[in-house]
C-alpha cells in the first residue's frame, strides 16, 4: 500500500512537490489548501480546500484519513498553521517534515528597514505623505488604515474582503511571477517612494526587491515570525527522498 501523504500547501514549493510526486506509485499524496484564494491553480494530485478546525480538527483528520506522514509546505508567515501541524502530528504520532524556503538576504545596496509586523510597518512609513507599494497579500491591508495620509498601491491576486482599508488605496490584480524590468517600470510609473514587503524568500517575487535596489528605493521589510517545524527539508528532492524512505518497500 502506498504511503498516504498530506501536503499542507499554498506555496510554489507545495505545487512543485505536488508535481514531483504525482504518479509516484510509492506515494498517495493529498494537497490541502487553506482557501485564501477562490480560484487556485489546478494541481496534478487530489486536493482539498479549507481549514481543519484547529489542532484537534487536524488530528482528527489525520486519524480518519489514515494519513501516514505530513509535509508542511505552507507560507513562511503561516506560523499558526505550522504550530497546529506540529501539535497534531505530535498527538497522533504522524511524522512531520517542514519544507521552508530560505529568506532573502540583504545585499549591500539594499535599503531595508526591518520591522516586526504589519502594524510596525504602517508606523515606519512616517507622518509625511508617501507613495507606498504594498506587496503583502489581502489579509494585511487593514493595518495601513491607521496611516491614511499615504497613497497606497497594492498588488493582489484577489480583492480584499475587509471593511476597513486605507482611504487612498489603488488595487491592482495580478498573479506572479514578475520580472525585474516590469517591476522597475511599475515602480517608476507609479512614482513609488517606498515598498512594504514580507521576507517571503524564493525566486517568484524577488524581482521587486531587485527593482527597489536598482532604483534606490527603501523597503520596509516585515521579518518572519517564529515558525514551528518538524524535520527540516532544504528542498523538494530531499523531501521526496525522505518520503521514499518511509514508504513501504516493494510498492
Q: Note the pLDDT tens digit of each residue in 62-95.
A: 999 999 999 999 999 999 999 999 999 999 999 9
Q: Which CATH architecture has domain 3-102+226-246?
A: 3-Layer(aba) Sandwich (3.40)
CB 167 within 8 Å of CB 142: no
**What is the model's pLDDT at position 12?**
87
Written as nine digits, the cell of 159 is 480583492
- Nearest Cα neighbor of 17 from 217, 238, 211, 220 is 238
Cite the residue boundaries of each domain of the chain with CATH code 3.40.50.720. Answer: 3-102+226-246, 111-222
Class of domain 111-222: alpha beta
Asked if pLDDT for residue 115 goes beyond 70, the answer is yes
Stated pTM of the model: 0.88
Least confident of 6-10, 80-84, 135-139: 135-139
Within 10 A of 145 (CB to CB), how many other CB atoms are there? 16
Q: pLDDT tens across 147-190, in order? A: 999 999 999 888 887 778 999 999 998 887 789 999 999 999 99
ω into 177 cis (within 30 of 0): yes
Residues 69, 71, 77, 80, Cα dihedral to 10°: -10
The pLDDT confidence band at residue 39, using thresholds 50, 70 and 90, is low
Amino acid at each position: 500500500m502506498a504511503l498516504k501523504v498530506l501536503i499542507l500547501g499554498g506555496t510554489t514549493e507545495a505545487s512543485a512537490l505536488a508535481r514531483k510526486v504525482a504518479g509516484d506509485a510509492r506515494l498517495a499524496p493529498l494537497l490541502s489548501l487553506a482557501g485564501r484564494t477562490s480560484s487556485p491553480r489546478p494541481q496534478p494530485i487530489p486536493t482539498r480546500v479549507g481549514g481543519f478546525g484547529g489542532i484537534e480538527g487536524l488530528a482528527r483528520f489525520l486519524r480518519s484519513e489514515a494519513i501516514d506522514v505530513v509535509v508542511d509546505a505552507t507560507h513562511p508567515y503561516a506560523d499558526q498553521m505550522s504550530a497546529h501541524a506540529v501539535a497534531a502530528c505530535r498527538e497522533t504520532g504522524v511524522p512531520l517534515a517542514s519544507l521552508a524556503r530560505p529568506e532573502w538576504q540583504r545585499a549591500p545596496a539594499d535599503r531595508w528597514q526591518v520591522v516586526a509586523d504589519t502594524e510596525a510597518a504602517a508606523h515606519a512609513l512616517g507622518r509625511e505623505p508617501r507613495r507606498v507599494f504594498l506587496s503583502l497579500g489581502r489579509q494585511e491591508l487593514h493595518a495601513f488604515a491607521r496611516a491614511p495620509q499615504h497613497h497606497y498601491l497594492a498588488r493582489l491576486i484577489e480583492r480584499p474582503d475587509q471593511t476597513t482599508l486605507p482611504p487612498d488605496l489603488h488595487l491592482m490584480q495580478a498573479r506572479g511571477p514578475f520580472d525585474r524590468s516590469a517591476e522597475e517600470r511599475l515602480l517608476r510609473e507609479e512614482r513609488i517612494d517606498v515598498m512594504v514587503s514580507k521576507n517571503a524568500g524564493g525566486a517568484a517575487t524577488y524581482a521587486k526587491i531587485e527593482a527597489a535596489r536598482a532604483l534606490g528605493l527603501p523597503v520596509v521589510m516585515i521579518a518572519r515570525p517564529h515558525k514551528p517545524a518538524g524535520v527540516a527539508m532544504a528542498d523538494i528532492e530531499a523531501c521526496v527522498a525522505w518520503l521514499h524512505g518511509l514508504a513501504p518497500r516493494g510498492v
